[in-house]
A = this chain, B = another copy of it.
Amino acid sequence: MKTLQINASQGAYNVYIGPDLRFELSKYLPKSYDKILIITDSQVEQLGYLKDAEEALQMETDQLYSYTIAAGEKSKQLNVFEQLQTYAIQNGLDRHSLIVALGGGVVGDLAGFTAATFMRGIDYIQVPTTILAHDSSVGGKTGINHPLGKNLIGSFHAPKAVVYDLSTIRTLSAVERRSGFAEVVKHGLIADKRMLNQLMDEVQALENIHPIVLEEALYNGIKIKAHIVEEDEQEKGVRSYLNFGHTLGHAIEAESGYGAITHGEAVAIGMLFALRVSQSYLSLSFSYQNFKTWLEQLQYPLDICKDLQISPLLDRMKLDKKNQKGQIRMVLLKEVGKPLICTIDEHRLFTELTSFMNEVME
């Protein structure tokens, strides 16, 4: 097992990474709790991980509650948030209780936001079960979607621990691996050229990716993320680099209806676009074509672009949280590992997006 410490303003917390950690969850709690509420989704429950977590946490308390939401991005909305609040109140959770977010990014964001706002904030831990959540479980971002845009309602609320059981990612479907792997690639692109090259060399298919290659990439990805969020917890500056690929990515997700394409798949397309804009704006020297071929080989659904219209995507991009004074801002790369945040003229963005879409569909 590996351990990383993250210094957050609300206190330091540990990230534990290793196999089978879910069986000994109570060992990783920062203190003892009288009441614990596990929030998970139907898929994680079906895989038996909820049962495993419940058995592990029964060591800690006999006042253990569980709430299972429907799997999928559609659960990350205000009325599911309200149901969770109601359940927590009805079961007598108080300011000294703990919430456990057992699942992928949706569960982590939603359970985290519930913890952030229940009685003005209680403790929670993240127990990610997907590759994608190696990213979202670290750094304290919590939130839900608004029909007009992703993650528009939320807050910063650091977890008290992240317990990453690598055994749980073995049961991921191909599409979930693909979704999560995009964020691993992102960490390489924005911060570690060597890591990126290694991934492009060693990963030719996501089904049979070697566990050691994956575990090392996840550990490095979390280290990169930890380093950035420690420097800029509230996203006033460098933290927005983590948003590489997300400006168009979020727009694609929203525009195609949440759930039609996974978060990471949309981010992969967004990264491809950001690389192209980086070439034309910042003369990035990078083999765009090799990267595109690699994404295709890994079966990222670039062809979803044919179903999307430019103007509504652009309107979505105008709602991005990075924007200032109504101007669209994107994270671009000067070099691999050297990100920058740039204001992009709307008309030029329209042209870039149009030619990108045409090219991708070829």
Q: Give chain B residues whose Cβ lies under 8 Å from the Cβ of A324.
A: 94-96
Q: In the complex, how many angstroms separate the beta carbon of A76 from the nearest chain B beta carbon?
A: 14
Complex contact A118–B148 (CB within 8 A):
no
Interface readout for A104-119 with B: 1 if CB under 8 Å, 0 if not? 0000000000001111
Given the interface pairs A34-B325, A119-B321, the reply to whether A153 lies near B85 with Cβ below 8 Å is: yes
Contact B146 A89 (CB under 8 A): yes
Contact partners of A9 in chain B: CB under 8 A: 9
A85 — which chain B residues lie within 8 A by C-beta?
A: 146, 152-153
Contacts of A151 in B (CB 8 A): 120
Asked if A337 is at the interface of the complex by the 8 Å CB criterion, the answer is no
User: In the complex, A193→B357 CA distance in Å?
Assistant: 72
Q: Are A120 and B94 also in contact (CB < 8 A) when A78-B82, A89-B148, A148-B86 are?
A: no
Which B residues lie within 8 Å of A78 (CB)?
78, 82
A223 at the interface (CB under 8 A from B): no
Given contacts A117-B117, A155-B121, contact A148 B96 (CB under 8 A): no
- A95: chain B residues within 8 A (beta carbon): 321, 324
Measured in the bound complex, the distance between the Cα atoms of B120 and A276 in whole Å is: 30
Say yes or no for A48: interface residue by CB 8 A criterion: no
Q: How far is the CA of A86 from the CA of B149 in the complex (A)?
A: 10
Taken together, the copies of this chain in the complex come to 2
Contacts A92-B318, A96-B324; A120 near B34 (Cβ below 8 A): no
How near does chain B come to A63, taking the closest CB pair, in angstroms?
9
A148's partner among B90, B94, B155, B323 (CB-CB below 8 A) is B90
Across the interface, which residues of B come within 8 angstroms of A94, CB to CB?
321, 323-326
Interface string of A70-86 (1 = CB under 8 A from B): 00000000100010011
A341 to chain B, nearest CB (A): 13
Interface status of A141 (Cβ within 8 A of chain B): yes
State whether the Cβ of A319 lies closer than 8 Å to any Cβ in chain B.
yes
| Complex Cα spacing A95 to B234, Å | 11
Assembly CA distance A151 to B119 (angstroms): 7
List 12 other contacts, CB 8 Å, given A117-B155, A120-B321.
A34-B325, A34-B326, A78-B78, A86-B148, A92-B319, A92-B326, A94-B325, A95-B321, A116-B155, A120-B141, A120-B155, A121-B156
Give the B-binding residues of A (Cβ under 8 A).
9, 34, 78, 82, 85-86, 89-90, 92, 94-96, 116-121, 141, 143, 146, 148-149, 151-156, 234-235, 318-319, 321, 323-326
For the complex of A and B, 10 pairs with smallest distance between CB atoms? A119-B321, A120-B154, A89-B148, A117-B153, A120-B155, A34-B325, A94-B323, A117-B155, A96-B324, A120-B156
Show 29 A/B contacts (Cβ-Cβ < 8 Å), sorted by A.
A9-B9, A34-B325, A34-B326, A78-B78, A78-B82, A85-B146, A85-B152, A86-B146, A86-B148, A89-B146, A89-B152, A92-B318, A92-B319, A92-B326, A94-B321, A94-B325, A95-B321, A117-B117, A117-B154, A118-B153, A119-B152, A119-B154, A119-B321, A120-B141, A120-B143, A120-B155, A120-B235, A120-B321, A121-B234
